[in-house]
Amino acid sequence: MIKKIFFICTLLLGGGAAFLQTIQQPRIAAGKKVYTKNCLACHQANGAGVPGLNPPLIKTDWVLGEKKRLINVVLNGLDDAIEVNGEEYENPMPALEYLSDQDIADVLTYVRNAFGNKASFIEPSEVKAIRKKK
């Protein structure tokens, strides 16, 4: 009996991880759609940006680091002189606050897990909390 319960638990756990994976993939796919429509023109299809103009989204702390800062960039835009991986970029980032919490969470989840990046997912509730504080 105990063996049987153990077996079922294992099955549930293993299946749970796989299940999580499959429900997460659609979020990346949804994020890619948001990216293509709202971000790709500047940050480019490969996420590498445009030298001197639009910063890359690859292997940078701005994308992979603190979620709050990243969410704020999308909600409020960014028009300061910043360095990304030792380079400066001219163009301002427009505020995209008209995107829904879900869209912003999806697109940031996508950029944190595309172009060779790997970082935790961002939930709509996290975007909502930061949007409220504004």
Partner 1 sequence: MNRIYGLALLMMPILAMASDSGEINKNKIKEAAEQVIQVKEGFNATTLVAAAGRNRHIVVAPDGDLFIKLDRLRNGKGILQMRRAESSGKYELVDSFGNYVGTGIAIRQGYLYASSDDAVYRYALDKKGNVDQKDNPQRIVQGLWSRRQHASKSIALDYAGNIYVNIGAPSNACQVKDRTKDSPGMDPCPILDSAGGIWKFRVDQSDQSYPEGKRYATGLRNVVGLDWNEEVKALYVMQHGRDMLSSLFPDEFSDSLSAELPAEEMFRIEAGKDYGWPYCYYDPIQNKKVLAPEYGGDGEKVGRCALKEHPLVAFPGHWGPNAMLFYTGNQFPERYKNGVFVAFHGSWNRAPFRQAGYNVMFVPMKDGKPVGEYELFAEGFTGKEYIMSTGDALYRPCGLAQTPDGSLLVSDSREGRVWQIRFGDKK
Tell me which residues touch partner 1 (CB under 8 A): 36-38, 40-42, 44-46, 48-54, 56, 77, 79, 81, 88, 90-92, 94-96, 98
Q: Which is nearer to partner 1, 51 or 65 (CB)?
A: 51
Interatomic CA distance for residues 93 and 97, integer angstroms:
12
Q: Which candidate, 133, 131, 130, places its Cα nearest to that of 68? A: 130
Contact at 8 Å (CB) between 59 and 85? yes
Nearer to partner 1, 20 or 53 (CB): 53
- As measured in angstroms, the least distance from the Cβ of 127 to partner 1 is 18
The nearest distance, CB 125 to partner 1, in angstroms, is 25
- At its nearest, how many Å lie between partner 1 and the CB of residue 37? 8
Residue closer to partner 1 by CB (options 54, 113) is: 54
Helix (H, G, I), strand (E, B) or coil at 54: strand
Q: Is the CB of 67 or the CB of 103 nearer to partner 1?
A: 103
Kindly calculate the radius of gyration of the chain based on its CA atoms and give it in whole angstroms: 18
Nearest Cα neighbor of 112 from 100, 98, 126 is: 126
**What is the smallest separation between the CB atom of 108 and partner 1, expressed in angstroms?**
18
Letter for the amino acid at 114?
A
